[in-house]
Amino acid sequence: MTTELNTIQASVTTLTIDGLTITKDIAKQLDQLHFEDWERFEGIGRIHPGIDHGNDGIELLGKDTSTGALVRMWHVTKPGWVGGYNDGQDGIRASLAAEYSRLPLIVLPKEGRP
């Protein structure tokens, strides 16, 4: 009997700004932009900070281009209510969801350790 050892390598991306590692706790305290603000949001990456928004979506970290601040954005991909939004912007939402889903996943440590 022969045993094979397979090794898989994967990169893990964390975010450090001015020497400070962005943790789950820090991310939860950031200001949040909403869909209406999508034109001033510049995405950096997807995150999973452990916040329950009650709908399927993508949580993002990025820059508010109007202020330069690091912010969170929750992009709903599937509204949990019947009929959805009915605001004529479903095409924009779908396009943004496709764009945002291609951003890298940023792993947020629980504490200040990478």
Asked if residue 107 is part of any domain, the answer here is no
Q: Band of the pLDDT at 73, cuts 50, 70, 90?
A: very high
Asked if residue 79 is part of any domain, the answer here is yes
Q: What token pair was written down for 69? A: 């601040």
The single-letter code of the amino acid at 75 is H
Q: pTM of the entire structure?
A: 0.77
Task: Assess contact for 99 and 43: CB atoms under 8 A.
Answer: yes
Asked if residue 25 is part of any domain, the answer here is no
The strand pairing partners of 22, in sequence order, are none
**Whole-Å CA distances, 45 to 7, 14, 41, 108:** 26, 10, 12, 11
Instruction: Please count the CA atoms within 13 angstroms of the CA of 57 that sit on its side-chain side.
Output: 20
Among the listed residues 46, 38, 43, 34, the one whose alpha carbon sits nearest the alpha carbon of residue 70: 43
Q: How many domains is the chain partitioned into structurally?
A: 1
Look at residue 44 in the predicted model and tell me its pLDDT. Answer: 94
Asked if residue 80 is part of any domain, the answer here is yes
The H or E element containing residue 90 is helix 90-101
Residue percentage of the chain with pLDDT more than 70: 87
Instruction: Tell me the mean pLDDT in the region 67-90.
Output: 77
Distance CA 100, CA 59 (A): 9
Q: 19-64 pLDDT, tens per residue?
A: 888 999 999 999 999 888 999 999 999 998 888 877 788 999 999 9
Residue-range definition of the domain harbouring residue 51 = 31-101
Asked if residue 23 is part of any domain, the answer here is no
Asked if residue 26 is part of any domain, the answer here is no
Look at residue 46 in the predicted model and tell me its pLDDT. Answer: 94
Q: What is the mean pLDDT of the chain?
A: 84
Asked if residue 21 is part of any domain, the answer here is no
Look at residue 42 in the predicted model and tell me its pLDDT. Answer: 96
DSSP state of 59: E
Q: Band of the pLDDT at 86, cuts 50, 70, 90?
A: low
Asked if residue 55 is part of any domain, the answer here is yes
